[in-house]
């Protein structure tokens, strides 16, 4: 370090920073009066400080960052899938992924507690509740499906290889519910195909069950479980449970569109 600042410069900086003890500050003031060069340096440093304050001020943290930090400790009640847009998320860097994983560990705990309580409420609601819990945890994990595809010809064989139920998959894109992907839900130890459709920022997960699955046949209408809307119905072959964070009416529209679209599809099966 060849150009170490001399002692006077160090003391001058310290004085401007309010870090000089009073005796030394007085001494420095005397020197400033006696030495025009030192006084000029002092003015220059003061001007520099002004310039830094004006041109390089403290910046506000971006809202996205503030939200991310808040999410680290946010209580979950109930989780909203809309805040975790799946599939469109850019590739996370390592640290981000780690951070996210840690934040989800916190969320996951809270959700886990909620679900345990839920399960104790009785067995009749069992299937729907399990599927709601699947929906919630998939949303929180940012993994609403295991195979991501808007093409039912991709999703169907994927599901067929993993489940014993032959899934009925229809294309509802023109009705505003494009297919987003599929996953397997386990209901009463039976792996059941689950189709995930998207509607704007919302998702609906439609699980198809054999007719004898316990509780799946509860008739018609839309109920609310743990903040999610659930629709259940059956046809000649299968029972269906649709879980969604969409509003009730939109879910009803989805169910109607699905059942309507199924009719020609049934013939081709």
Partner 1 sequence: MISEVGLRRFREIVPPLLDDAYTLAKWLSHSAVDAEDIVQDAALRALKALETTAVERPKPWFLTLVRNAAMTWMARNRPKNLSYAGDAADLDAIDARQGDDGAPDPERTLIALEDGERLRQAIADLPSPLLETLVMRDVNGLSYRDIAEATGAPIGTVMSRLARARGALAKTLKAEP
Binding site for partner 1 (CB under 8 A): 1-5, 9-10, 12-14, 17, 19, 40, 43-45, 47-62, 64-66, 68-70, 72-73, 93, 95-96, 98-99, 102, 106, 109
Token pair, residue 256, equals 């109607």
User: What are the start-end ranges of the H helices in 120-247?
Assistant: 126-140, 152-160
**Smallest separation, CB 260 to partner 1 (Å):** 46
**Smallest separation, CB 201 to partner 1 (Å):** 22
**Smallest separation, CB 82 to partner 1 (Å):** 21
CB atoms within 10 A of CB 201: 15
Nearer to partner 1, 52 or 82 (CB): 52
**Smallest separation, CB 133 to partner 1 (Å):** 20
**Smallest separation, CB 3 to partner 1 (Å):** 6
Nearer to partner 1, 47 or 82 (CB): 47
Nearer to partner 1, 113 or 186 (CB): 113
**Spatial CA neighbour of 16 closest among 34, 38, 35:** 38
* Host H or E run for residue 239: strand 238-244
Nearer to partner 1, 52 or 256 (CB): 52
Those residues with Cβ within 8 angstroms of residue 201's Cβ, 6 or more apart along the chain or in another chain: 81, 82, 85
**Smallest separation, CB 197 to partner 1 (Å):** 32
Nearer to partner 1, 10 or 26 (CB): 10
CB atoms within 10 A of CB 42: 20
Q: Is the Cβ–Cβ distance between 224 and 186 less than 8 Å?
A: no
Nearer to partner 1, 40 or 256 (CB): 40
* Rounded Cα distance, 269 and 263, in Å: 10
Token pair, residue 194, equals 């689950």
CB atoms within 10 A of CB 106: 15
């Amino acid at each position: 370090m060849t150009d170490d600042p001399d002692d006077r410069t160090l003391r001058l900086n310290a004085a401007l920073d309010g870090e000089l003890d009073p005796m030394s500050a007085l001494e420095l003031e005397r020197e400033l009066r006696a030495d025009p060069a030192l006084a000029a340096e002092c003015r220059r440093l003061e001007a520099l400080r002004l310039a830094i304050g004006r041109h390089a001020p403290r910046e506000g943290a971006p809202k996205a960052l503030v939200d991310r930090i808040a999410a680290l400790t946010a209580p979950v009640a109930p989780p909203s899938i809309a805040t975790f847009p799946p599939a469109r998320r850019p590739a996370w860097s390592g640290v981000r992924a780690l951070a996210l994983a840690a934040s989800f560990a916190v969320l996951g705990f809270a959700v886990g507690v909620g679900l345990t309580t839920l399960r104790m409420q009785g067995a009749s609601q069992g299937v729907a509740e399990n599927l709601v819990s699947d929906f919630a945890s998939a949303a929180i994990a940012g993994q609403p499906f295991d195979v991501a595809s808007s093409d039912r010809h991709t999703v169907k064989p994927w599901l067929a290889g993993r489940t014993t139920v032959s899934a009925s998959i229809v294309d509802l894109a023109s009705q505003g519910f494009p297919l987003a992907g599929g996953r397997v839900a386990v209901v009463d130890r039976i792996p059941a195909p689950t189709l995930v459709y998207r509607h704007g920022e919302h998702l609906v997960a439609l699980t198809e069950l054999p007719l004898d699955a316990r509780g799946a046949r509860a008739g018609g209408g839309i109920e609310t479980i743990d903040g999610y809307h659930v629709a259940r119905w059956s046809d000649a072959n299968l029972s269906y449970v649709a879980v969604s964070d969409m509003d009730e009416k939109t879910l009803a529209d989805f169910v109607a569109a699905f059942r309507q679209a199924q009719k020609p599809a049934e013939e081709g099966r």
